[in-house]
Amino acid sequence: MTDESRKSIHGQWSSRLAFILAATGSAVGLGNIWKFPYITGENGGGAFVLVYLLCVAIIGIPVMMSEVLIGRRGRRSPINTMRMLVAEEGIPRIWVLLGWAGVVAGFLILSYYSVIAGWAVAYVFRAASGAFDGATADGISAMFGDLLGNPESQLGWHTIFMVMTTVVVARGVRSGLEQAVRYLMPALFVLLLVLLGFSMNTGYFSDGLAFLFTFDVSKLSGAAVLTAMGHAFFTLSLGMGAIMVYGSYLPGNASIAKTSVTIAMLDTLVALIAGMAIFPIVFAEGLEPAAGPGLIFHSLPLAFGNMPGGSVFGALFFVLLVFAAWTSAISLIEPAVAWLVENRAVKRRNAAGLVGVITWLLGIATILSFNRWAFEFEFAGETKTSGIFDILDILTSNIMLPLGGLAMAVFAGWMMSKSSVLDELKMGEGAMFRVWYFVVRYLTPVAVGIVFLNLIGVVTF
C-alpha cells in the first residue's frame, strides 16, 4: 500500500509535540489527580513507585507503542484501521472486532465520565462562591449527597460538560483537538504548580512527601504489585481506541518509541505532582489521606473551606480537575466521530453532535444510578451500590479495556508481519527493537492477562 493511500482524511497533528500533548491529555484524567497518589501512599510509597515504573515499562509503554503503530499504519478510525490491516496482513476478519470494541468502550466510558466531570464543574462554582467556607464534615457530605440525589442538577452539569467536549471535537484535528490541548495542557501544568506552591506553605509539605515517597518495602504485597500493574495499564488510556485514533494523525517521521516514553513520563509526573499538591493540604486539616474517591468531593472541600485563601485555591483545584477530564473526554469521543465521517459521509460537525447527543442520553442512566435507579449487586466479592453506573464501569474498566490492550499487544506482536512493524516503528532492528518485540510478544500479554484475571476476581494475592 502506498504512503499516499495511508493519509488520514481527518488531517494530522502539526508536530510530534502536538501528539504528545494530545496523548498526555488523554492519559491524564481524574484518576491521576486522586487515585495514583492515594494508591502510592497506601502501597509502600517510593517502593511502589519503582514497581509501578517497572510495570509501565513492561505493560504501559509496549501497549502504547503497539496501539500507536497500529493507528498510524491504518490512518483511519479504529474500526477502518483494523479492516485495512486485516486485509493487508491476510489475517482473520475477527480482528476487526478490536476496532469496534475500542470505539464502543470509549463511548460507554464517556457516558459516565461526563457525569463525574460534571460534578467537578459544579464544584468549581461552589468553591469560588465560598460554599465550603467554614463548613463541617457533615455539611460537606450533605452538599455532595444533595448533588447526587438531584438528577436535574446533575443533568445540567453533565450537559455543560458534554457540550464543551462536543464543540472541541466538532472543530477537527488541527482547529479543535490540537488547539484545545495546546492551551489546556500547559494550563493544567501551571495550575498544578500553583497548587504545589500553595501546599508548600501549609506547613505539612514534608508530611506529604513522606506519605508519597517513603521507601516501605513491607507494604509491597502481591496485591500491591497487581495494583501497580493495573494502574500502569489504565493510566495511559490504552485499549479504548483513543490512542489508536490519535496515532492515526501522527506524522510519519515522528518516533513512536520516543513519543510513547515521553507520554508515560509526563503522565507519571502529573500524578506525582498532584500527590505532592494534595496531601499536604489533607494533612494540614487532619483529614484521612486514604479517602479514595471521597478525597475529591469530601475531604478536599472541607480542607479548602477551613484555610486562608481556600475559596480561590479550591476553585483552581476543581478547574484543574475539569481540564484533566476535558482533555480525556475529547479523546474518548473522537474514534466514533472519525468512523461516522469515514463511513457515513457525515460532516464532522454533525457527527460530533450526533455522538455527543447519544452519549449524553446514555449518561442519564448513570445520573439515575445514584438516586432513582440505584440498586445493589455483588462483583468479585465487593458490594456495588450504584446500579447501571457500576455495571458500565465494570464492563469497560474490568473487561473491555484489559482485553483490548491484550489484543493490541498480540496483534502488533504476532499478527502483523515483522516488516510492517519495523516499517512503522522506524527504529531499525537493533537491540532496542528486539527488546520491545520480545516484551510485547511474551511479557506484556501475560502481565495484562494477570491484570484482567485480577479485575474479574479470578486471581488474587
Q: Which helix (H) or strand (E) holds 87?
A: helix 78-89
pLDDT of 180 higher than 90: yes
DSSP 443: I
Secondary structure of residue 382 in the 3-state scheme: strand
Rounded Cα–Cα distance for residues 219 and 225 (Å): 10
Q: Does 460 reside within a domain?
A: no
What pLDDT does residue 2 have? 46
Q: Does 285 reside within a domain?
A: yes
Split at pLDDT 50, 70, 90, the class of 458 is confident
pLDDT of 419 higher than 90: yes
Q: Does 433 reside within a domain?
A: yes
pLDDT of 176 higher than 90: yes
Q: Does 461 reside within a domain?
A: no
Split at pLDDT 50, 70, 90, the class of 206 is very high
Q: Are 21 and 413 in contact (CB under 8 A)?
A: no
Distances (CA, A) of 1 to 84, 247, 305: 10, 18, 61
Question: 4-8, 85-89, 271-275, 394-398: which has the minimum mean pLDDT?
Answer: 4-8
- The number of folded domains in the chain is 1
Average pLDDT of 443-460?
Answer: 90
How much of the chain exceeds pLDDT 90, in percent? 75
Q: Does 307 reside within a domain?
A: yes
Q: Which helix (H) or strand (E) holds 378?
A: strand 377-379
Secondary structure of residue 321 in the 3-state scheme: helix
Q: Are 1 and 88 in contact (CB under 8 A)?
A: yes
Residue that has been written with the C-alpha cell 503522565 in this structure = 267
* Interval 32-73: pLDDT, tens: 887 888 888 888 888 998 999 999 999 999 999 999 999 999
Split at pLDDT 50, 70, 90, the class of 188 is very high
Q: Are 307 and 133 in contact (CB under 8 A)?
A: no
Q: Does 361 reside within a domain?
A: yes
Chain centroid to CA 369: how far? 22
Q: Does 316 reside within a domain?
A: yes
- CATH classification of the domain holding 208: 1.20.1740
Average pLDDT of 143-154?
Answer: 96
Distances (CA, A) of 426 to 8, 58, 260, 433: 19, 20, 14, 10
Q: Please choose, from the candidates 430, 64, 57, 38, the residue with its C-alpha nearest in 3D space to the C-alpha of residue 241.
A: 64
Q: Does 250 reside within a domain?
A: yes
Domain housing 34: 4-455
Rounded Cα–Cα distance for residues 218 and 197 (Å): 32
Q: Which residues of 388-424 are buried (b: 16+ CB within 10 A; e: fewer)?
A: bbbbbbbebbbebbbbbbbbbbbbbbebbeeebbbeb
Residue that has been written with the C-alpha cell 494502574 in this structure = 231
Average pLDDT of 79-93?
Answer: 97
pLDDT averaged over every residue in the chain: 92
3-state helix, strand, coil in the chain (%, to 5): 75, 0, 20
What pLDDT does residue 5 have? 58
Where does residue 239 fall: left (phi above 0), alpha (psi -120 to 50 degrees), or beta otherwise?
left
Residue that has been written with the C-alpha cell 483529614 in this structure = 287
Split at pLDDT 50, 70, 90, the class of 82 is very high
What pLDDT does residue 461 have? 65
End-to-end CA distance of the chain: 48
pLDDT of 292 higher than 70: no
What pLDDT does residue 287 have? 82
Q: Exposed, middle or buried: residue 354 (CB in 10 Å: 0-12, 13-18, 19+)?
A: middle
User: Cell digits for 262?
Assistant: 515521553
Average pLDDT of 374-393?
Answer: 90
Average pLDDT of 91-118?
Answer: 96
What pLDDT does residue 77 have? 96
* Interval 208-254: pLDDT, tens: 999 888 888 888 888 889 888 888 888 899 999 999 999 999 999 99
pLDDT of 158 higher than 80: yes
Sign of the Cα torsion 47, 52, 54, 55 reads positive
Average pLDDT of 132-147?
Answer: 93
Distances (CA, A) of 73 to 83, 251, 396, 424: 12, 11, 26, 7
Q: Are 369 and 388 in contact (CB under 8 A)?
A: yes
pLDDT of 196 higher than 60: yes
pLDDT of 460 higher than 80: no
